[in-house]
């Protein structure tokens, strides 16, 4: 259900978005933290007294810190609640024949329904867990050199079952939200979600790269939560300048926008949208699940907002796939996702947007990934 009026969370979301909108661009290749330009509108532009301004600022800082701490705790709880284990499996895998995805021996084929008339986005039963005798890939934690930070960093690489270096594979980059790590998506069953979609819908095998989006030499737990977003905005530099070259040099990958996808939840969803639109020559598929605000200016909200981009502009024609979803009762990122939907619609940019039962939580992000993967690389 769409909401046009602000809820009781409006002030909290406002403070949250102020802190999230920090660097102009998800990151700078030189590793510097630059504060984005602020646009003052509405009542915030006419504060008559310095004391009132100071009081408002202090109140906003206290409120945003409390809410962001709650957000990080919610996201960590959601990540940890759905951890799964690797089974011993052997079910026959789908095969690709002449570009048509065939589901095992059933003869059924999968059609990419970019903007389907069926607006149901229910997932299959137990889609986040290992099923029956199916075969699943392997997860390896790799170390690579980060020119962004001048040190080595870690990422998780998930190879499909039967990975063959003589073949080439499309790549899906996965970004986490505040308080997460390169382990967050694995804890939510990303390997099983993607492989189950492969079995049930015949999408191609793919390499999954789980990024550590806290791009900093500090320990995340030691950084004041209101300052974390600056480190997350360096994800762009980390992915484009460091991690993507490492993956392409060390694995058998297909490159170009038709073979590369990026997706994330919450703050990671915000960065996925920004990186995807800033690098349209490299990414053709964007998934943003409960995405945080601040990708482009939201003037309709009448609030102070720093943004990562000036606008959603198509440089290579419509994306093969953009999918945004959000929980109906998400009081943290609900309004921002609805704004992105409106902004893309107004600009006639093809995309899928849907709301589902849930809050700012892992079940929403898992469902978003399930529906996203069904529609990429096909």
- Does residue 338 lie in a domain region? yes
Instruction: Give the pLDDT band of residue 314 (cuts 50, 70, 90).
Output: very high
Residues whose CB falls within 8 Å of the CB of residue 182, separated by 6 or more in sequence, listed in order: 141, 154, 155, 156, 176, 210, 211, 212
Domain annotation covers residue 5: no
pLDDT band at 331 (very low <50, low <70, confident <90, very high): very high
Percentage with pLDDT > 90 across the chain? 58
Per-residue pLDDT for 55 more than 50? no
> What's the rounded mean pLDDT across residues 203-216?
96
Residue 280: pLDDT band (50, 70, 90) is very high
Q: Is residue 170 part of a domain?
A: yes
Q: Which domain holds residue 350?
A: 10-373
What is the pLDDT averaged over residues 340-351? 94
Beta-bridged to residue 158, according to DSSP, are 139, 208
**Is residue 2 in some structural domain?**
no
User: What pLDDT, on the 0 to 100 scale, is given for residue 69?
Assistant: 52
CA distance 252 to 270: 28
**Can you tell me which residue has the tokens 């001048």?**
150
Q: Is the pLDDT confidence value at 226 over 80? A: no
Q: Which pLDDT score, from 0 to 100, does residue 221 have?
A: 85
pLDDT for position 228: 81
Residue 75 has pLDDT above 90, yes or no: no
Q: Does pLDDT of 44 surpass 60?
A: no
pLDDT of residue 86: 38
pLDDT of amino acid 132: 87
Q: Is 90 exceeded by the pLDDT of residue 78?
A: no
Q: What are phi and psi of 80, to 5 degrees?
A: -75, -20
- pLDDT bucket at 204, cuts 50 / 70 / 90: very high
- Cβ-based burial of 291 (10 A; exposed 0-12, middle 13-18, buried ≥19): buried
Q: Which residue has the higher pLDDT, 228 or 43?
A: 228
Quote the number of domains for the chain.
Answer: 1
pLDDT at 191 over 50: yes
pLDDT at 327 over 90: yes
- Give yes or no for residue 113 having a pLDDT over 90: no
Here the CATH number for the domain that contains residue 122 is: 3.40.50.1820
Range 254-277 average pLDDT: 97
Mean pLDDT for the stretch of residues 200-223: 93
Specify the pLDDT at position 370.
97
pLDDT of 155 reads 98
How confident is the model at residue 214, as a pLDDT?
93
pTM over 0.95: no
Residues with Cβ within 8 Å of residue 57, at least 6 apart in sequence: none
Lowest mean pLDDT among 32-41, 84-93, 288-297: 32-41
- Please report whether residue 357 resides in a domain: yes
Strand runs labelled E in the chain: 95-97, 100-102, 138-146, 151-159, 171-175, 207-210, 260-265, 285-289, 321-327, 352-356
Average pLDDT, the chain: 76
pLDDT tens for each residue of 132-162: 889 999 999 999 999 999 999 999 999 999 9
Residues in a beta bridge with 2: none
pLDDT, average across residues 93-103: 39
Q: How confident is the model at residue 342 (pLDDT cuts 50, 70, 90)?
A: very high
């Amino acid at each position: 259900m769409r909401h046009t009026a602000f809820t009781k969370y409006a002030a909290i979301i406002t403070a949250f978005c102020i802190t999230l909108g920090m660097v102009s661009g998800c990151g700078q290749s030189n590793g510097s933290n630059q504060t984005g330009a602020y646009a003052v509108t509405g009542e915030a532009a006419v504060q008559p007294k310095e004391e009132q301004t100071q009081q408002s600022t202090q109140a906003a800082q206290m409120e945003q810190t409390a809410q962001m701490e709650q957000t990080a705790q919610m996201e960590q709880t959601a990540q940890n609640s759905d951890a799964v284990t690797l089974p011993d499996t052997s079910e026959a895998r789908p095969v690709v024949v002449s570009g048509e995805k065939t589901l095992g021996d059933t003869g059924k084929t999968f059609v990419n329904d970019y903007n389907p008339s069926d607006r149901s986005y229910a997932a299959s039963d137990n889609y986040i867990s290992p099923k029956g005798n199916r075969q699943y890939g392997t997860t390896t934690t790799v170390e690579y050199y980060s020119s962004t930070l001048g040190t080595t960093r870690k990422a998780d690489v998930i190879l499909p079952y039967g990975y063959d270096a003589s073949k080439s594979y499309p790549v899906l980059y996965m970004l986490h939200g505040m308080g997460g790590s390169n382990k967050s998506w694995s804890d939510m069953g990303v390997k099983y979600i993607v492989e189950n979609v492969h079995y049930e819908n015949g999408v191609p095998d793919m390499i999954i790269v789980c990024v550590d989006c806290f791009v900093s030499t500090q320990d995340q737990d030691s950084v004041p939560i209101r300052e974390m977003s600056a480190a997350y905005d360096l994800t762009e530099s980390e992915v484009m300048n460091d991690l993507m070259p490492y993956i392409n040099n060390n694995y058998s990958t297909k490159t170009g926008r038709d073979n590369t996808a990026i997706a994330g939840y919450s703050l990671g969803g915000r960065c996925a949208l920004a990186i995807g639109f800033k690098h349209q020559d490299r990414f053709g598929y964007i998934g943003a699940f409960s995405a945080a605000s601040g990708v482009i200016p939201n003037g309709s909200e009448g609030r102070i907002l720093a943004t990562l981009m000036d606008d959603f502009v198509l440089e290579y024609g419509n994306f093969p796939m953009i999918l945004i979803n959000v929980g109906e009762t998400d009081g943290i990122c609900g309004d921002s996702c609805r704004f992105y939907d409106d902004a893309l619609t107004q600009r006639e940019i093809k995309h899928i947007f849907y709301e589902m039962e849930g809050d700012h939580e892992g079940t929403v992000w898992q469902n978003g990934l399930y529906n996203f993967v069904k529609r990429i690389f096909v």
